[in-house]
Amino acid sequence: MKMEDLNNSQLILMAILVSFVTSIATGILTVSLLDEQSPTVTQTINRVVERTVEKVVPGDTRTVVREVPVIVTEEELIVKVINDASPTVGRLTESRTAELSLGLAFVVDEGKYLVTAASVLPGETNKRTGPYYLSTEDGIEYRAELAALSSDKRLAVLKVTEVSLPEVPAPTLLSALLPQDKSEISAARLSTGNLSVGQTVIALGSIGSSVGPVTVGIISSLSPAIGTTTAITTNAARSDNLGGPLFSIQGEVVGLNLAPGTAAPAALVRALIDSVK
């Protein structure tokens, strides 16, 4: 039969048959080629895939921390000392209502003792035992009595017998919702470190119930230069801060102002306090 003699239906069936046979032949040829594929090529492909996968997996994450130094100026340290130490210093009086103060004193050892220069206490050789009163800027009042004098009659330690905290106003609806400041006893820390000539020191005075004036100076000499220091020469000690503390810029008491230009080292103050414990 010739192709010209086929009708349309027969031509369609013929085309379908040819396509079917061609598909079968192609499939057989493909399977034969895969069976004959060299194992070396397959291994190479596998190695390429394995290496690619290894590179995709991330390694350990490392965090690099860079420390940025914070520069604190001496001025900032001095301001901090004044703010922190102000509640520990006050004017010493012989009664609660006295307007005339004897001199300065400051609180140490968690509010158990007051320290001052013996020269501010009344009496020549026999100092009056008290009572004495000290009010600080945070509203706390201390009642104390003389506990000890140094052998050279320069330092005085007063033992606190009563502490009066400021009165707390009656709570209101608004104050109950807001955080309230609680009065706590502030005490100065006595330094146990060594002193150095040229070291910056801060002396606090007191006017009324507030701190002032503040004097910043340096230690110009130590006596004796070798051995246990018994006296500090400094321009920070003045007539308006006698009996008050001499602070380092680290906020520790390094001395007690005895006279203009002279202070006793903290080691002597500590020894006198320990003698009455």
Rg of the chain in Å (alpha carbons): 45
Q: How many helices (H) and strands (E) does the chain have?
A: 5, 12
Would 100 be classed as within a structural domain?
yes
- What CA–CA distance (Å, rounded) separates 37 from 34? 5
Range of the domain at 266: 74-167+182-275
Q: What is the pLDDT along the chain (277 residues), one digit of tens a residue?
A: 555 666 777 777 777 877 877 878 777 766 666 566 555 444 544 454 444 444 444 555 666 667 777 777 888 999 999 999 999 999 999 988 887 888 999 999 999 999 999 999 988 767 788 899 998 888 899 999 999 999 888 999 999 999 988 776 555 555 555 545 545 778 899 998 889 999 999 998 865 555 568 999 999 999 886 566 789 999 999 988 999 999 999 999 999 999 999 999 999 999 999 999 8
Question: How many structural domains comprise the chain?
Answer: 1
Beta strand ranges found along 35-87 (DSSP E) = none
Q: Are 89 and 245 in contact (CB under 8 A)?
A: yes
- What CA–CA distance (Å, rounded) separates 159 from 162? 9
Burial class (CB in 10 A: 0-12, 13-18, 19+), 131: middle
- What CA–CA distance (Å, rounded) separates 223 from 231? 5
Would 13 be classed as within a structural domain?
no
Would 10 be classed as within a structural domain?
no
Would 192 be classed as within a structural domain?
yes
Would 252 be classed as within a structural domain?
yes
Helices (H), 140-197: 173-177
Q: What is the dihedral of CA 209, 213, 216, 219, to 10 degrees?
A: -80
Q: What pLDDT does 48 receive?
A: 44
What CATH number does residue 268 fall under?
2.40.10.120
Would 261 be classed as within a structural domain?
yes
